[in-house]
């Protein structure tokens, strides 16, 4: 590189850019919301309105798709506070829409604004503001009508207040926003999806009237349910249930030693003989399309109750092993959980990962299901028969697959600790870095469906290794034999009938060496087993870097909180400070590697399907050609110059763990 070239690529103090205010959202909108269309940023506003209903201060929500392209959301709640914040010295309504971490949902102490809400992320409507060309907020509160206007995230008309034309008792908030189309793949909000969302809100909030107006079509829909979940589910089902649905609820009362008062769930489950299943779950009225620990609690409670019923009545045939999936194969359900401090996976809140939620929901579902079964003996026997037949069909299918695998002459690697279950829709293989971590994984795993293959040292860089000599490396050989699939190219049609595991999970330390091993394994699968990536069988486990021990406080038991990285640790500590946990009582530990974790810690953070963070590996939006070009730059032996140039150009976009 010439001196002129070096000067053109100087890396100095001026190269560092600090993003302020709402700039991070505008730079990387996909980190904060879904960018298919503006629905999710409107949902953030709707969620604020539903939180007012959930808190018992509102019973009306109106949403309008206006002819000018804007969307309005109005509620008759308390109204966003308009006074000056005691510390920030700015109107609270302004802070809510312009600061990423400002909101009433952080105030969880007794007498706080919200006991139950849709999460603690605190970036909701500020993201709506950042990704809109204009936002107008009107608040009716304290006998005043107050208005503030934003454009592109900035205040253009400061807060002004006049005497309200409404009676003083008629309070509320109206937010009207114009989403900025440049941030979304499509500028149009899907009307049917929004209508379904609003209808479900009405179902989950008995007595609340929800209306939806489409101005261009001059159409207004209104929903108000007094009794809710059962009626809603039956409307969704394509056919009638085989027997009456199982509907119940359970909530913790004051003085409960395990859960906070008000925590619990309401649910309805129906079984049909045919047709698609309808399943929806919510946490504090927030839709969780990817489910999570609350759904697992519902399934566990129903499964354990039915298993007890089957054992009591001697219904289980010899040799049949029932699984949760067998009970829910033909089940549809609506679940609405109420959790005091919900933790979600990602800002878009698609999946609940709160560990206690599974125990919470299961604790209320199981006794209610046992009561239902013993009150409906004939229906219980029909359900048991349905689940048993599902288990028998699954086991027969597994036997057929096993016979095909029996023709293989390959001998499984001696260091492979296999699982008991052969069902690839359920079982998992963890490729673990080193014997130490492998030992913890073997002790901490669920041996029914989780297998462990420890790898010694770094796997060979196989980007430029010919397929015919690939097995010269023992680690690569053992991986291929363990998974039961031969190496192949992107154009080949490989035989996947011998695949032994539905999920093949790369599990490496959360440090630089671990990242290197992870990249080498991803290179192996992308270059020599591309069909496994294409069909969704390759995953990357994300173990945490930090453990935060929080002591027992009052009714709240001692807690362990795991943090993925420095950013998550900072957020956790800030939250604990807001919860008034004494700082000197908090203990922070950093894991040097997976081998340092006990089997219990490894299970909780990296192995347990309900609480781990497991990322599916997919070819990104750039497409296979660009991905292959990039991989070649990063992994090819003779591309060192290209790698250096790439690092100089793009290295500042990534965080380095030193």
Would you say residue 645 has pLDDT above 60? yes
Is the pLDDT score of 617 beyond 80?
yes
**In the block, residue with structure tokens 């027997």:** 243
Outline where 55-189 has alpha helix (H).
92-98, 124-130
Mean pLDDT of 184-192: 91
CA–CA separation, 165 vs 184, rounded Å? Answer: 38
Task: Provide the pLDDT for residue 29.
Answer: 80
- In 456-564, beta strands by DSSP E: 503-507, 538-541, 546-550, 559-563
pLDDT at 623: 64
Asked if residue 227 lies in contact with residue 259, where contact means CB atoms within 8 angstroms, the answer is: no
Query: For residue 395, what are the CA distances in angstroms to 306, 326, 389, 392, 423?
Result: 19, 11, 10, 5, 8
Rounded Cα gap, residues 517 and 506, in angstroms = 9
Question: Residue 229 is encoded by which pair of tokens?
Answer: 């979940």
DSSP at 465: -
Question: What region does 524 belong to: left with phi over 0, alpha with psi -120 to 50, or beta?
Answer: alpha
Dig out the tokens for 349 from the structure. 């809140």
Mean pLDDT of 608-629: 80
The CA-atom distances, in angstroms, between 57 and each of 82, 211, 474 are 17, 18, 65
pLDDT at res. 657? 43
513 is an active site residue: yes
pLDDT at 649: 67
- In the prediction, which pLDDT does 284 show? 83
Nearest to 405 by CA among 534, 533, 496: 496
Q: What is the pLDDT of residues 291-320, one digit of tens each?
A: 999 999 999 999 999 999 999 999 999 888
Each residue's pLDDT tens digit, 39-65:
989 998 998 898 898 888 999 999 999
Q: What is the fold, at CATH topology level, of the domain defined by 229-399?
A: Ribosomal Protein S5; domain 2 (3.30.230)
> pLDDT band at 194, cuts 50/70/90?
very high
User: Is the pLDDT confidence value at 625 over 80?
Assistant: no
Label residue 607 by pLDDT band (50, 70, 90): very high
pLDDT for the residue 654: 53
For the cut 80, the answer to whether the pLDDT of residue 556 exceeds it is no
* Residue 400 pLDDT class (50, 70, 90 cuts): very low
Q: Which pair of structure tokens corresponds to residue 130?
A: 């950042």
Rounded Cα distance between 494 and 386, Å, is 36
Indicate left, alpha or beta for 69 from its phi (over 0: left) and psi (-120 to 50: alpha). left
Among 260, 433, 478, 604, the one annotated catalytic: 433
Would you call 47 a catalytic residue per the annotation? no
| 373 closest CA partner among 295, 303, 472 | 303
pLDDT at 310: 96
What pLDDT does 15 receive? 46
Q: Reduce the DSSP state of residue 468 to 3 states and report it.
A: helix
- Structure tokens, 111: 């007498």
**180, 152 contact by CB (below 8 A):** yes
Question: Are 62 and 74 contacting, i.e. CB atoms less than 8 angstroms apart?
Answer: yes
- State mean pLDDT over 234-263: 90
Task: Give the pair of three-digit tokens for residue 406.
Answer: 């029996």
Name the residue among 450, 438, 448, 432 with its Cα closest to residue 517.
Answer: 432
Starting at the edge strand found earlier in the chain, the sheet holding 614-616 runs 450-455, 428-433, 503-507, 538-541, 614-616
Residues with Cβ within 8 Å of residue 234, at least 6 apart in sequence: 241, 245, 270
Cα–Cα dist 341/517, whole Å: 36
Q: How far apart are CA 198 and CA 210, in angstroms?
A: 7
**Cα-trace Rg, the chain:** 27
- Rounded CA separation 103/81 (Å): 11
CA distance 542 to 606: 7
Q: Please give the residue that has the higher pLDDT: either 288 or 411.
A: 288
Kindly state the helix (H) or strand (E) to which residue 265 belongs, with its residue range.
strand 264-271
The Cα 471–Cα 494 span in angstroms is: 17
The structure tokens listed for 651 are: 């290295």
Work out the pLDDT band at 633, boundaries 50, 70, 90. Answer: confident
If you average pLDDT over residues 96-121, what whole number do you get?
54
Which one of the listed residues 107, 191, 256, 511 is annotated catalytic? 511
350, 513, 568, 648: which one is catalytic? 513
Q: Which CATH class is domain 23-223?
A: alpha beta
Average pLDDT over residues 472-494: 87
Domain boundaries, the chain: 23-223, 229-399
Pairing of strands 587-590, 614-616: unpaired
Q: Which of 9-18, 52-61, 328-337, 569-578 has the lowest mean pLDDT?
A: 9-18
Under 8 Å between Cβ of 521 and 431: yes
Residue with tokens 């013993």: 374
Better-scored residue on pLDDT, 5 or 524: 524
Residue 330 or residue 227, greater confidence: 330
Are 428 and 446 in contact by the 8 Å Cβ rule? The answer is no
Note if 475 is an active site residue: no
> Which one of 418, 475, 509, 604 is the catalytic residue?
509
Distance CA 121, CA 189 (A): 24
Helix axes 293-312, 355-375, angle to 10 degrees: 30
Query: pLDDT tens for residues 350-382?
Result: 788 888 899 999 999 999 999 999 999 999 999
pLDDT band at 431 (very low <50, low <70, confident <90, very high): very high
Q: Sorting pLDDT into bands at 50, 70 and 90, what band is 158?
A: very high
**511 a catalytic residue:** yes
Beta carbons within 8 Å of 187's beta carbon, 6+ residues apart: 37, 38, 69, 179, 181
121: pLDDT strictly greater than 90:
no
pLDDT above 90 coverage of the chain, percent: 46
Q: What is the mean pLDDT of residues 221-247?
A: 88
Model confidence at 79, pLDDT cuts 50, 70, 90, reads: very high
Tokens at 46, concatenated: 């709707």
Q: Tell me if 129 sits within 8 A of 145, measured CB to CB.
A: no
Would you state the torsion angle of the CA atoms of residues 97, 101, 103, 105, taken in this order, to the nearest 10 degrees? 140
Concatenate the DSSP letters of all residues of 40-90 into one string.
HHHHHHHHHHHHHHHTTS--EEEEEE-TTS-EEEEE-SS----SBPTTT-S
Mean pLDDT of 531-538: 93
| Distance in angstroms (rounded) separating the CA atoms of residues 658 and 567 | 15
* Highest mean pLDDT out of 14-18, 118-122, 614-618: 614-618
Helix (H) or strand (E) holding 293, with range, is helix 293-312
Cα–chain center distance at 190 = 22
Averaged pLDDT score across all residues of the chain: 85
Angstrom CA distances, 213 to 44, 73, 75, 192, stand at 18, 10, 14, 12
Whether the Cβ atoms of residue 547 and residue 589 lie closer than 8 Å to each other: yes
pLDDT at 231 over 80: yes
């Amino acid at each position: 590189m010439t001196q002129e070239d070096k000067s053109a690529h100087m890396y100095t103090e001026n190269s560092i850019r600090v993003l302020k205010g709402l700039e991070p959202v505008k730079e990387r909108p996909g980190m904060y919301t879904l960018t298919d269309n503006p629905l999710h940023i409107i949902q953030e506003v709707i969620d604020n309105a539903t939180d007012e209903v959930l808190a018992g201060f509102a019973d009306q929500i109106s949403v309008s798709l206006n002819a000018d392209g804007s969307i309005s959301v109005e509620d008759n709640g308390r109204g966003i506070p308009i006074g000056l914040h005691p510390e920030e010295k700015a109107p609270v309504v302004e802070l809510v829409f312009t600061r990423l971490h400002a909101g009433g949902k952080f105030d969880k102490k007794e007498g706080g604004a919200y006991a139950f809400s849709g999460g603690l992320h605190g970036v909701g409507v500020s993201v709506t503001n950042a990704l809109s060309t204009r936002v107008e907020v009107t608040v009716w509160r304290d006998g005043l009508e107050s208005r503030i206007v934003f454009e592109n995230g900035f205040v253009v008309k400061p807060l002004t207040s006049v005497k309200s034309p409404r009676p003083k008792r008629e309070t509320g908030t109206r937010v009207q926003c114009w989403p900025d189309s440049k941030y979304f793949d499509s500028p149009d909000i899907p009307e049917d999806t929004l209508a379904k969302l609003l209808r479900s809100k009405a179902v989950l909030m008995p007595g609340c009237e929800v209306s939806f107006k489409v101005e261009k079509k001059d159409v207004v829909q209104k929903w108000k349910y007094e009794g809710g979940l059962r009626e809603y589910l039956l409307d969704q089902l394509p056919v009638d249930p085989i027997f009456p649905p199982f509907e119940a609820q359970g909530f913790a009362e004051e003085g409960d030693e395990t859960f906070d008062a008000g925590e619990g769930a309401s649910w309805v489950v129906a079984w049909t003989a045919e047709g698609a299943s309808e399943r929806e779950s919510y946490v504090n009225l927030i839709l969780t399309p990817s489910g999570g620990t609350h759904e697992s609690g519902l399934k566990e409670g129903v499964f354990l109750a039915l298993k007890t019923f089957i054992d009591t009545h001697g219904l289980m045939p010899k040799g049949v092993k029932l699984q949760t999936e067998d009970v829910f194969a033909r089940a549809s359900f609506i679940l609405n959980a109420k959790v005091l401090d919900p933790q979600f996976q990602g800002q878009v809140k698609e999946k609940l990962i709160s560990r206690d939620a599974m125990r919470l929901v299961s604790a209320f579902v199981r006794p209610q299901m046992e009561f239902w079964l013993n009150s409906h003996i004939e229906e219980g026997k029909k359900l048991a028969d349905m689940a048993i037949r599902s288990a028998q069909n699954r086991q027969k299918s597994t036997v057929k697959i096993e016979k095909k695998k029996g023709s293989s002459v390959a001998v499984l690697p001696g260091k492979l600790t296999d699982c008991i279950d052969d069902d690839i829709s359920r079982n998992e293989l963890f490729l673990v870095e080193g014997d130490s971590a492998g030992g913890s994984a073997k002790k901490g795993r669920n041996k029914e469906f989780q297998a462990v293959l420890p790898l010694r040292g770094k796997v060979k860089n196989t980007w430029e290794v010919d397929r015919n000599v690939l097995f010269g490396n023992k680690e690569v050989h053992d991986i291929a034999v363990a998974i039961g699939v031969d190496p192949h190219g992107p154009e080949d049609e490989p035989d996947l009938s011998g695949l032994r595991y539905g999920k093949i999970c790369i599990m490496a330390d959360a440090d630089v060496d671990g990242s290197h091993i992870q990249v080498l394994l991803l290179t192996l699968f992308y270059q020599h087993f591309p069909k496994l990536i294409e069909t969704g069988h390759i995953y990357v486990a994300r173990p945490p870097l930090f453990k935060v021990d929080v002591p027992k406080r009052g009714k709240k038991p001692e807690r362990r909180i795991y943090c993925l990285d420095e950013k998550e640790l900072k957020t956790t500590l800030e939250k604990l400070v807001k919860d008034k946990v004494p700082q000197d009582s908090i203990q922070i530990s950093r894991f040097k590697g997976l081998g340092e974790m006990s089997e219990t810690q490894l299970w909780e953070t990296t192995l347990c399907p309900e609480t781990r963070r497991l990322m599916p590996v997919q070819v990104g939006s750039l497409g296979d050609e660009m991905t292959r070009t990039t991989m070649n730059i990063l992994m090819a032996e003779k591309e060192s110059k290209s790698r250096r140039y790439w690092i100089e150009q793009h290295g500042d976009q990534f965080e380095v763990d030193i």
